[in-house]
Structures are given as structure tokens and as C-alpha cells.
Amino acid sequence: MRIKLFATLRERARTAEITVHTGDHLTVRELRQVVADQFPTLATLMPQTLVAVNQQFAFSDDTVHETDEVALFPPVSGGVDPFPQPVPDMTKDDHYPTLLRVTEEPIDLNELQRAVTTEYDGAVVTFVGTVRKFSAGEVTLQLEYEAYTQMALTKLRQVADEMRESFAGIHGVALVQRTGPMQVCEPTVAVLVSASHRHDGAFEAARYGIDRLKQIVPVWKRETRPDGTTWIEGNYVPMKGD
């Protein structure tokens, strides 16, 4: 079985993909043990390692087959602020624009604003995350972002759908995550939401979007400081439905 590795695991194994020798199928719990046994350098990481099967989060009792696309990675970089869960049974309006992107190219906010704005809109709310130099007495020189791109796009689509389900008054949505090295003050992520009026949920949807993105979209960042580099990982544990 071939397994993709990302961030800390890739760096520890010194390869982006490993092959484990196992039967046709096993549980996620058994898979973690097999990896730990066959790749001792990864053993200490297995308890907190997340598993994705066919670009969806997998859990301990889920079954993994030899032909599945399997990936191992640490918790994604991001915060743990609570937010309301999506409101069920609300109708999505699919004719409004949705832009989802994982890219090494600089973020063009003017282009994104034009992309999400419709003739019905009088408001666009924009959230932009940037590289912060000073934080809690530490100095950051550079951030480098890595993504499991195919799964990241799948999860960005899920976030956009949840935003529409939770905030029925919004229209256009853009979710853009950059990858690669970025310098201090450079934009790293953008969430844009359009609506008819500022009171129609655009502010709340943008906040929900960035919080959710930082929970379930598989992106990690490596921080460079004067004393070296380190991976920054989150501590959110995915649940069924994530």
C-alpha cells in the first residue's frame, strides 16, 4: 500500500511517499500500527497523525483498501476558536459564484472581489491572513506553506457549502490558500463573501470560513526564525462529517 506523507511526517521520513507491506484491507487503527512497525522514525508521530482515505478524513475503525489513496499528516495549521455548526436543511443557491484556489501565485484581492460580486450585491467582506513578524516575543522571518492540494480543494468546497448552508443571505464566496515561501506582511490566505447588504451575514460567513478552513483544510506552515525552522501544527481533531 502506497501512502502519501506531508509536513512533519514527510520531513521525518525524508520522502513524500512510503510503501507499507500489508494485506488487501485493514482498519485505520491497524494502519497506524503497521506504519509505526515498518517505519520506526515515524512511530512517535502516529498517535497524533491524521489519516485521509480518498481525500476524506478517516477514523480508527474505518477500513482502508490497498487501492485507496491514503495520506498521513499532522493536524492542520490553524486555530481552535468555537463557531456555530452548519444549519441543516437550508437550500443552497448554486448560481452564485464560488472561487476555490490553492496556488503559489500572489493573491490579487481586486480580482477576487470582482469574481465574487454579482449585480445583486452591495457588500463584500474580505478577510486576509498575512505573515506576522512579531508574536509573543518571537520573531518570524518567513513562512512556508505546504498543502495536500487535491484534498485541500475538496475541503474548500465543503467549507463553501457549509458557509452557504449556515448563512442563507450570502452570495459569492472565494476561498484562496497560498503555498510556498512567503515573506513578512505578505498575504497567505483570503476569504471573500458578497451579499446584498452588510447585515445579510457576510461578516459572520467570512469569520466562519476562515475558522473552518483552519480546521479541516490540509495545509501546514513551516516557520523560519533567527534560531531555525519549525513546523506549526494545529490541535483540532477531525470528527465524523469533517
Check whether 22 has a pLDDT greater than 50: yes
Which tens digits make up the pLDDT trace of 148-166? Answer: 999 999 999 999 999 999 9
171 lies in some domain: yes
Nearest by Cα to 228 from 11, 76, 42? 11
The number of distinct structural domains making up the chain is: 2
pLDDT in the model for residue 40: 96
* Coil, helix or strand at residue 121: coil
Q: Are residues 179 and 111 in the same domain?
A: yes
> In terms of residue numbers, what domain contains 227?
98-232
Q: What is the largest CA-CA distance in the chain?
A: 58
242 lies in some domain: no
Of the residues 56, 73, 90, which one is the last residue of a structural domain? 73
241 lies in some domain: no
In eight-state DSSP terms, residue 186 is: -
Predicted TM-score (pTM) of the model is 0.88
Q: Are residues 63 and 105 in the same domain?
A: no
Give the cell for residue 177.
Answer: 490558500
Q: Are residues 110 and 59 in the same domain?
A: no
Mean pLDDT across the stretch 125-145? 95
Mean pLDDT across the stretch 55-75? 95
28 lies in some domain: yes
80 lies in some domain: no
Q: Are residues 35 and 111 in the same domain?
A: no
Mean pLDDT across the stretch 221-227? 95
30 lies in some domain: yes
Q: How many residues make up the chain in this entry?
A: 242
Q: Are residues 107 and 208 in the same domain?
A: yes
Q: Are residues 109 and 176 in the same domain?
A: yes
* Coil, helix or strand at residue 149: helix
H, E, C per residue of 91-107? CCCCCCCEEEEEECCCC
Q: Which of 24-28, 36-40, 59-63, 125-129 has the lowest mean pLDDT?
A: 24-28
DSSP 191-223: EEEEESSTTTTHHHHHHHHHHHHHHHS-EEEEE
